[in-house]
Amino acid sequence: MFIFIIMLVNYLLLIICVLVGVAFVTLLERKILGYIQIRKGPNKVGYMGLLQPFSDAVKLFLKEQTVPSMSNFLPYYLSPVFSLFISLLVWMVVPYESGMLSFNMGILFFLCCLSLGVYSTLSAGWSSNCKYSMLGSLRAAAQTISYEVSLAIILLSVIFLVGGFNLNLFNLYQEKFWLLLLTFPLSMMWLASCLAETNRTPFDFAEGESELVSGFNTEYSSGGFALIFMAEYASILFMSMLFSLIFLGGSPCSLLFYIKTVFVSFMFIWVRGTLPRLRYDKLMYLAWKSFLPVSLNYLIFFMGLKMFCFCILL
C-alpha cells in the first residue's frame, strides 16, 4: 500500500511538471517564432514575458464556455478532457530508475495510447454537430492513422536492434553509441511522422485557418479550446522525450537527457517557423508512397542483420 501511495504521488508530481513544461513550451514557441520573424514575442507580463502562459491560461479558463445548442453535449464536453488524459497517461512509460512503474511492454502501451488519441478527435468533431468540424475531424483522423503505420514500423525496426519492448533497453544499448548514427534516415522519418501525429506544421491541416475553418475544434472556446491545445503540447513534449530516448540514449534521471529533449522540442518549433503548410494531395503520398516503403525496407534489413549476427554467434 505504501509503495502504491509513493508511486501515485510520483506520478502526480510528473503530471504537474509536464503541465508546467507545456506552459513554458508555448512561451518558448512564441519567443522563437518572434525572433524568426524579427520581432520580440511576449515580453510584457512578468520578467521577459515569463508569466505570459499563466496569464493566457487564466484568461482562457475564466472566459464564458459556449456550447452549440444542437451539439451532443456529453461527448462534446468530455472529448478535450479525454484528449488531455491520454496525453498525460502516456507519460507513465518514462523509464525512471525508481519510484515509478516499470513497463516490460512500454512501447506497446505507448502505441495503444497513440491509437486512442484518434477517438477524442473524431468524437470532438462529430459531437459538435457541425459540417466543418466533422470534415476536419475526419481529415485529422485519416492523417493520424496513416502516419501511425510508419511510426509503428520504424519502432519495430529499432526494437529488432535492441531486442525488446522495454524502454530501459534503449538506455543500456546507447551508452557508447547513439542509434541515431546507425539509423539516421529512420530517425528523420520518425521526426516527420511525429510532426504529422501531433498535427504540427507542415502537417497542421487540422488547424488550417482559412481553407479548413480551423478543423475539428471549430466549435470549442475558452476551457475546451485550452484543453485541446494542452493535449497537443503535452504530446509534443512526450514525442521529443521519446526521440531522445530511442535515438539519442541517456537516462531520464540525467540533465543531458532533458537538454536533448528541449533541443528536439526546439526543432518542432523551428520547423513551424520555417516550412509552409504541405499541399493536401501530398499528405497521403508522403505517408504511403515514401515513408512506408523505406521503413519496411529498413525493417527487413534489420531483421536480416539480427539473424546474421545470431548465426555468426552460434
pLDDT value at 171 more than 90: no
Describe the crossing of helices 292-313 and 184-197 by its angle, rounded to 10 degrees: 140
CA distances from 168 to 66, 88, 96, 242 (A): 45, 20, 9, 12
Contact 242, 79 (CB under 8 A): no
Q: What tens digit of pLDDT does each residue of 85-139 get? A: 999 999 988 888 776 777 888 899 999 999 898 999 889 889 988 888 888 888 8
Contact 113, 90 (CB under 8 A): yes
Q: What's this model's pTM, rounded to 2 decimal places?
A: 0.92
Buried b / exposed e along 100-130 (16+ C-beta atoms within 10 A): beebeebbebbbebbeebbebbbbbbbbbeb
DSSP code of residue 163: T
Sequence-ordered list of residues with C-beta below 8 angstroms from that of 308, at least 6 positions apart, any chain: none
Confidence of residue 242 (pLDDT cuts 50, 70, 90): very high
The mean pLDDT value of the chain amounts to 87
**pLDDT (0 to 100) of residue 175:** 83
**Residue with grid cell 478532457, as numbered in its chain:** 81
Which is more confident, 98 or 282? 282
Mean pLDDT across the stretch 195-207?
Answer: 81
Confidence of residue 32 (pLDDT cuts 50, 70, 90): very high
DSSP code of residue 175: S
Q: What tens digit of pLDDT does each residue of 202-233 get? A: 887 766 655 555 667 777 888 888 898 899 99
Confidence of residue 164 (pLDDT cuts 50, 70, 90): confident
**pLDDT (0 to 100) of residue 234:** 94
Q: Which three cell numbers stand for residue 179?
A: 542509434
Q: Which three cell numbers stand for residue 251?
A: 537516462
So where are the chain's domains? 65-313
In a 13 Å sphere around the CA of 259, the CA atoms on its Cβ side amount to: 4
Tell me what percent of the residues of the chain surpass a pLDDT of 70: 96
